[in-house]
Structures are given as structure tokens and as C-alpha cells.
Amino acid sequence: MEDTSGFYKQLENEWWYAPNFVYHRDYTLDRNNNRIDIDGWVWYDEAPQEYVDYINSLENE
Amino acid sequence: MNRYFKAQPVGTSDEWVRNPDWLPMPELDGTEEVFYALYAVFELGGNYLQFRAVTSGGLQVVDFGDGTSGTFNSGNIFTKEYEYNDIDPSTETIDEITGLKYRQVLIKITTTSSFDGFMIFREGDKMMNYLDIYIHAPNLTSFTNNSATTPWLERFRMYEWPVMPLNSVFVNATRMTETNIDWTKPTNFGSATYTNFKNFGDIDAINCVGNNTLFTFTRTMSNLKIGNVNYYGTNNAPFGTLNGINRIGKVYAPNVTSLMFLEWHNLEGTLEVEAPLLVNGTFFARDCSRVNKIILDAPNIENLNNFALACWAVSEIIFTDASNVNTINNNAFGNGTRNLRRLRLPGIKVSLYLIYVSIDVPEMVDLFNDLADLVALGLPSQNINITLSTASQKGLSQAQRDIALNKGWTITG
């Protein structure tokens, strides 16, 4: 089964996904050390359904 | 029996060699309007000639090359069926590819006025047996091939090319290899289907304007080489379906707002384009699977969706200015461009998806330096996704990441 764990962030019209890390000038997220929720980023063990729906909608465009 | 003619199978780069057994074509000096055609009369029969010339008011005067001649009113279709046994036996030649035996006639069509249009026809299922055509008709406004197939035609020249569309002159001209086309004259190159052209040189298509395409329904010109191209029209696919180009020089397209080189699977080397009004780069180079470098000088470009999708070989994509880009999907550079090692997008302000690409640390730093300063511009953070890129796998230093982060970007991977 595909590993879809990682950090997800929903914006107004898109989703950002980072399987391993997020670097921002004010914070760093790392799948091994820091999985806190911050600035809209949320850790999921599996891709949330809303993200899956979003990707499907892109592929159907 | 002729064994000198070297056939030109599609895909070779051999120079065209005129069959030395063919009757010579007359030299033209521009003083007489004339249509010359060397024509094959096959032993098997089926040797029909059907033709129509429209003149400015005069007659069509035809020398059929077999000792007969005729005079026809402008616009009237004339037909001729040649008999093999009536043709000079000294002109006998054997086609090396098919083994078919033919004799030759040199057809000459003149007019008492000036030529306006030519049309060649087919007679039922008979093909037109032109071998070599040389024309002087500077006032011609049309030359149409009315579904005739000209599979034997190898060379087509004009003493002085008229300004006109070449709608269908080369329809199914399987062996068509040689032309002296003056690219400043045609308004398009028409349906040059199944031709064997190898090299068109530079194209400065000053009369191909508006929505006209430089080529239309054109195919099977595999291994075709083209020099620098100036296209002044506005069509987003100026080369039509001419996807057999192997090499092309720089394309200058000053009037297009949308442009694509979709599925040019045979193109190798560099695709360099200057298009100052280009806004829409959707599918620009999608499936150009052998191109290894793309250079785009298009400072007004906005949309890069699917820009380089499935460009499996591309290693460099260089924009001179990407500051107006507002739309990029994750297929623009991140799907199939695994060989991408260098990407320059000066002034880019929107999120980038560079998944699996081979951009190494130094080139990623160059790209970070290209990113717009979102903080200074008061814009929200954008994402540069470098998942499984070479730079991501090797690791970027904090100082290297700070180049992007301090400009308000988020780096994910």
C-alpha cells in the first residue's frame, strides 16, 4: 500500500503536500522529529479524503 | 537500364540526386511564363494527364511532349492519355524501386496572357506521373492538387515564387525531396503529405500572417531539419501537425499569444523560442520526448500548465523572464521531466512542483535566487516542492534554504 503519510496544508484553491519536511522561515517540520500542527500544516498518517478528492479533480480536468 | 537513381528512403540525410537518365529540364530566365513537367509514361498504361490553368484572359497553349499539342481556353480542363508505344524509346527508363518501365515526355504549358492559377487532377484512380516540375508564373494566386496523387514527383521548383497558399501541391507526393522554395512568399505551405523533404533551411514567412499556419496537414517528414524560423501569424500551432522535425533553429514568433510544439517526438537538441506577446504556454512542449533543452524568451507568459509534461530527455529549461507567470500545475515540470537538471525562472511568484527532477544542489540554489521576493512584494507564501529531487536527497544547507525562505517561500519535500 502506498505510503501517503505526511504534512498536508489546505489553501483556498489548492493543497500542499510534503511527505518528509516543510521549511518555512518561522518553523521547520520533519516527519522524524516534529509533526506539530502549525500555519495550516497538519500531519496525516494517510492522505485525507479531501486531498484525494482534490487530486482526482485535477486529473479529471 | 537506369541504376544511378538513388532512392531517398525517409529517415536518411542523403542529398537528392536527379536521375541522370531523365530528360533535362530547360533553363528558365524569367522572360516567359511557363509550366514545365517531366512526365513518366508507363508501359503498364494509366498515363493520364489532366490539368487546368486559369489565365488573366488568354489561352492555355500545351505541348504534350509526344509530338502533339493543343490550345484551350482559360479555366477549361484538358485531358490527355499517353500511349507508351508512341513515346521516344530512347527515353526508356526503369524505376529502381518498383522495377516499372517508363518513357518520358516533357510537357510545356504557356499562355498568351499570364497565369493566375493551376490545378492538377486525378482521373479516376489513376495517379499523375509527374517526375520533375519547373514553373515560372509570378502572378499565380493558387496552385491546387485536386486529390491527385503524385507519387513519382521528386522535385518541384519555381523560377520566382509567387505570393500564394500552397494548399495541396504535394498531396501524397511520397518521393518529393527537392524544392527551391522561397519562404518569404507562401502564405502557408499546405498539405505536403508523405513527402521526403530533408532540409528546409531558414524560414522567414513574411506572408504567412493572421491565423494561417506555416504548415497545415503535413506529416511523415521524419528527420526533417529546419533552420531559424520567423513566423508572423497568430496561430497557436504554426507548424500544424508537422511533428517529424528532427532539428529546428530559433523560432521567432512576435505575434502569437499562445504557442505549442505538442508531441514533437522526433525533435532533438534545443527548442529555442522568442515570443514577446506569448501569454499561454499550456502544453508548450508536452511530449517533446527527445528535446534536451528549452529556451523561452517570453516575458509576458502567464500560464505554464503542462508546459514540459513527458519531456523525458529535457535537462535544461531556461526562461528569460517568468515574472508574469500566474498558473503552474504539478505537470509543468514535475511529471516525466526526471532528467531535468537546470531550471531557470527569473521572477517567478507562484508555487512550483519539482518532484523527482534531477536538479542538484548548485542548480537548485540558482533557482532559489530566481524566486521573486514575496515578502518585499507583500504576497502570500508560495511553495517550492522538491520531493525526491537530487537536491532534496543530497540535502540543502540552512544558508541555501534561507535564500528562498527569506523571500517568503516554503520549501517542501
B326 touches chain A (CB under 8 A): no
Amino acid letter, B303:
N
A59 touches chain B (CB under 8 A): no
Average pLDDT rounded to a whole number, residues A9-38: 95
Contact A25 B402 (CB under 8 A): yes
B387 touches chain A (CB under 8 A): yes
pLDDT, one tens digit per residue, over B232-261 is 999 999 988 777 889 999 999 999 999 999
pLDDT, one tens digit per residue, over B151-206 is 899 999 999 999 998 877 887 888 888 989 999 999 988 777 778 888 889 999 99
Contact A22 B330 (CB under 8 A): no
B327 touches chain A (CB under 8 A): no
Q: How many CB pairs under 8 A join A and B?
A: 39
pLDDT at B218 over 80: no
d(CA B321, CA B117): 47
Contact B385 A17 (CB under 8 A): yes
Q: Which residues of chain A neighbour B329 with C-beta distances below 8 Å?
A: 58
- The b/e string for B354-372 (b: 16+ C-beta within 10 A; e otherwise) is bbbbbbebebbbebbebbb
List of residues 6+ apart from B183 with CB closer than 8 A = B200, B201, B202, B203, B204, B205
Contact B413 A19 (CB under 8 A): yes
Nearest alpha carbon to residue B196 among B168, B224, B171: B224
Q: Which residues of chain A neighbour B385 with C-beta distances below 8 Å?
A: 16-18
Nearest alpha carbon to residue B392 among B373, B411, B370, B371: B411
Which DSSP letter does residue B27 get?
Answer: P
Q: Which of B329, B351, B413 sits opposite A20 (nearest CB)?
A: B413
B184 touches chain A (CB under 8 A): no
How much is the mean pLDDT over chain B? Answer: 91
Query: Can you give the pTM of this predicted structure?
Result: 0.89
Q: State residue A4's pLDDT score.
A: 95
Q: Which of A14, A21, A58 sits opposite B412 (nearest CB)?
A: A21
Q: Looking at chain B from residue 102 to 131, which residues have their Cβ under 8 Å from any Cβ of chain A?
A: none
Q: Which of B118-127, B299-308, B321-330 has the lowest mean pLDDT?
A: B118-127
**ipTM, interface predicted TM-score of the complex:** 0.93
Q: Which of A33-42, B109-118, B137-146, B147-156 has the lowest mean pLDDT?
A: B147-156
How close A56 gets to chain B, by Cα (Å)? 13
Q: Which of A14, A21, A58 sits opposite B413 (nearest CB)?
A: A21
Amino acid letter, B124:
G
Q: State residue B35's pLDDT score.
A: 97
Chain B contact probe: residue of A23, A28, A59 with most B CBs at under 10 A? A23
| Cβ contact B142:B150 at 8 Å | no
